[in-house]
Structure 1
Amino acid sequence: MAYPALDPKTFTVLITGATSGFGDALARRYVAEGARVIATGRRVDRLEALKADLGDALHVAPLDVRELSSIEDLLNGLPEGFRDINVVIANAGLALGLGPAQEVDIADWRTMIETNVMGLANTVRATLPGMIARGGGHVVTMGSVAGDYPYPGGNVYGGTKAFVKQFALALRSDVQGTNVRVTNIEPGMVETEFSLIRFKGDEDKASSVYEGVTGMTADDVAETVFWATTLPRHVNVNRLQVMAVQQAFGPFDVKRV
């Protein structure tokens, strides 16, 4: 028996971190298919530009996911037509620095933990009860291959993405019987503003990451999310790991003397 794919025209999608990269691409992908989208982030000018491009199908709101009360206020203030959220894409996150643990700025670690861990937890905690009450939905978390594969300087960033992976798997168990699906998307090298932010605006360092490599694009990742959320309702993609063809797993790090 064939089961139908879900119609994105029935979706009301909340996207955090929608001011660039994955979030921007996701907002455009879902609106193009007829969904209603709530795009959030901290850079208001970027949100306004996105609204100008996408029109009435998009509702934008400034949001700092590190504050649970900020997310609750957002949900309580949504206009008619955007209140019945059934897809939550917890995309907000970042990496800062690539130095060894003994040399990093502890403030960078704190920012990554507060955003990638607590921001995710806040987003899910605030939105999950409503989806359950409405009979189902889909939580998409944005992980990384760094949650599985360590690399020098990946310390806290990799740790936060390992948390995202395990949180999503545990959440999958928690919501059994509620018709809420949970998917962790785990990208590898994607050429977005990610490295520019990681290196705090140093364009030379950021561009060197992708030198000689055809990395994935934000649209590639948005397409994997869209596919997972539109699968027939009885199908759940637990984890989806995607890499550029030129990227693979590293060898053991051996210090020879």
Structure 2
Amino acid sequence: MQIATSVAALREVIRQWRQAGLSVGFVPTMGNLHAGHIKLVSTARQQADKVVVSIFVNPTQFGPNEDFASYPRTEQQDQEKLLASGADLLFLPAVTEMYPQTTQTGISVSGLSALHCGASRPGHFDGVALVVCKLLNMVQPDLLLLGEKDFQQLTLIRQMVTDLNIPVTVQGVATVREDDGLAMSSRNGYLTEQQRKQAPTLYQALCAARDEILAGHDDFPAIAERQCQNLQQAGFAVDYFSICRSKDLLPAGPSDPDLLILTAAKLGATRLIDNLYFSKTSS
């Protein structure tokens, strides 16, 4: 596996691949890799000749009181996992390489950026859109792999790619879960032993809401409120629990066939997110 720390070195490797007629898959990450990230890499390996993975903890998507400084950085272990997974090139830039001067250009996907996580993390998705756009311009891949656990992020990046005519196919990859249902996340490592035992309740609440809907209940606000109360009783501080249309993440109504339930909640200081997609027509 090759490692590039500069944009120039990254582009030189990819230029050689392109001259050889090879296709490129790209997996952007913030490191502290787990099985969910490795699934993205393995999916890319199946569909592209070469796979680029980036590790960059992006400061522009963290708020002033968020965990940028303490975000887990496990560079050596990550490199070992990527080598074992068959990644071809690791892009490992410093902040000064990604943002060599004060950035005067921003990217904002209006509407989507203000919903759900965006409501409680102002500016977060602008930072995500900016760094992903920069990375896509640097790598210029054929295929971009993103996890469905961050479904709002996936939807936003798809919209950005469409709006800006970026020539890349965006593919979502299903959430990888622990045996007890907890969605794999780098932030799970923040949980205490007791909180880790409580954490699967988040996914259980999503499943319970889905089951109510599939059983014919259509008072979505009441369903969401019941699950909020259940989560609060289990020790969570709920940010949101939203039953949405999967196509645009706006509030769903009884006639909408394809639904996505999204939630974010804190256990102690750790913010967890999860979601569940399902279709009423295929139930």
Q: Give the TM-score normalised by the residue count of structure 2.
A: 0.39
Structure with the largest fraction of strand: 2
Larger Rg belongs to: 2
Q: Give the TM-score normalised by the residue count of structure 1.
A: 0.42
